[in-house]
Structure formats: structure tokens, C-alpha cells
Amino acid sequence: MAETLRKLSDDLAQTVEAAGPSIVRVAARRRLPASGIVWSSDGTIVTAHHVVERDDSIEIGLPDGGTATATLAGRDPTTDIAVLRTSAAGLAEPRWRGADSLRVGNIVLALGRPGRSVLATMGIVSALGESWRTPAGGRLDHYLQTDVVMYPGFSGGPLVDSEGSVVGLNTSALSRGAALAVPFDTLGRVVEALLSRGRIRRGYLGVGAQPARLPDGLAKELGQETGLLLVSVEAGSPAEQSGLLMGDTLVTLNGNRIRHLDDLFAALDEEAIGQPVPAKLVRGGKLQDAAISVGERE
């Protein structure tokens, strides 16, 4: 038993040492610095959006003890991802792996560098699910929850599996009371968009809405029990320009069933922006077809 534990202990220490050169310190807020992960060797860093409070004069603490100045290349608050650019070159890229390689119960390490050296905490994957919509409306390709202790300054650092691969970015901002990680699949998609455009394009209607139960006949016809009741329509918004009225109940948009707010967020993806999309709504107790033009959220 002692030999088994000693080997496990040595293996974990080696995993931390191997990942360390890819973890940086990110000083972009007034309080304790946070952590970041080398995205590419040319000086691109990925970190958590909520730890970046300024756009320039960001100090990056490098693994060799040196420092570099970085600027913000782009951010997506809805998935808590920010991308930084620094002039530092020759940085060590980590080995990445998708969350589909994980199972509930797998051992993982959360690493951070809020100071000069790497800190580590260990836990297990406590929940793993399919695509998940964050409270801010962003889409994570996998729901990845662990029981690791998120110490101050760990946000923006890597979640590492037992083989030393980075499977996600740790964040304390997406769900209160739960340690979540943004999976690699989501990081790749969002970082690519931020590097090319500096932002994530998201659809916008300009409505306030809440779930509402449909009449039994319509519920049976549509195969869904609820729709989204429009409780407000902003003046001059895409919704108003498309003829939507307060009191309408939206039941489908662009071929997607609209039963809850999450369904609406999912339907307002980038591909829908700038064009009319087919919809069905209930007005005056009757089902109607409509074409709704989707705008772009600022």
C-alpha cells in the first residue's frame, strides 16, 4: 500500500511539473492576480474574463520568473473567456484533450499561478454532461463540474487530467457554489472567434419573456407544453420591426422549439443574425406563422 501511495504521489507531482511551464500569472485587476494558460507559443494567453478588469497594461508573470506586458485581444463574458496577447515568444504550449475523454470519478488537478510558483489542488470529476447554457447565455460544449477547491487566484488556470493533458479552464464565475471548468472544445471555438473578430456575435430580438403554459389543444398539436410569453417588446428592436407584440407566445424559432429562455438563447446563434427566420407564435389563442429578423447584440 505504501508503495502504491508513493507512486501516486510522485506521478501527481510530475504531472504538476510537466504542466507548470504552460501556466502564467495574470495581473489584470486590483486584487490578487489570477492565472492563465498559454494558448500558443507566440504569446497568446487564455484566461477567465472575470479576472480581467482592464484592456491594456496587463502584467503576465512568466514561468521562468520574468514578466511581460499584455493587451486584451477579446473577451466573451457569457462563457467567461478572455484572450490576451503578449510579446513574449517561445512559450510552452500544453497538451490539450477534449472533455469526452473524461468520466465521472476521474482524478483531476486544478492548477494556478497567482504568485511566482504553481499551486495545485486535487479532486475528481463530479458531474459531466452534454451542452450547457450558462446563466449569461453562453454555450459550453460540455458541463464539466469537479469537487476541487478553487483557491483565490486559480480562475483562468488549467484543469488537468491524470495524464497531464489540459481538459479545461477553471472558473469560479459561471455557477455559484460549484467548481466548473470551461471545456477545451468551447475554448477552441471561442478563442478562434475572439482572435479573428475580438468578440462573439450573438443574436438579439429585444424582448422580455417568461415561460407560459399552452392551451391543451395547442400543446398536443405542437408536442410541447410551454412557450415563451412576451411580456415586453423594446421600441425599435428587431422584434418590434418584425411585428411581434406584447402578449404573443413564441413557440418555435428557426425550426427550434421555444419552451424556455434557454431555448431562445440557443436559437439566437450567429448564423441567424441579419436574416429573417421562420417562427410560430400564438396570438389571440390561434397559432400563426411569422418571419422574424434577428439583430446582433451589442
Q: 298 to each of 15, 114, 180, 203, 251, how far by Cα in Å?
A: 42, 32, 27, 9, 25
User: Within 13 A of 119's CA, how many CA atoms are on the CB side?
Assistant: 20
- Binning the chain into helix, strand and coil, the percentages to the nearest 5 are 20, 40, 40
Alpha-helical regions (H) of 176-260 = 184-197, 216-222, 238-241
Q: Where are the beta strands (DSSP E) in 87-220?
A: 107-112, 119-129, 132-133, 139-140, 143-146, 158-161, 166-171, 179-183, 203-204, 207-213
- Selected catalytic residue, list 22, 35, 80, 172: 80
Which letter does DSSP use for residue 273 in this model?
A: B
Q: Is 155 one of the annotated active-site residues of the chain?
A: yes
- Selected catalytic residue, list 35, 49, 50, 185: 50
The answer to whether 60 and 71 have CB atoms below 8 angstroms apart is no
Q: Is 80 one of the annotated active-site residues of the chain?
A: yes
Provide the phi-psi class of 139: left if phi over 0, else alpha when psi is between -120 and 50, else beta: beta
3 state DSSP class of 95: coil
Q: Is 263 one of the annotated active-site residues of the chain?
A: no
The answer to whether 101 and 57 have CB atoms below 8 angstroms apart is no
- Selected catalytic residue, list 155, 165, 172, 242: 155
Active site residues: 50, 80, 155
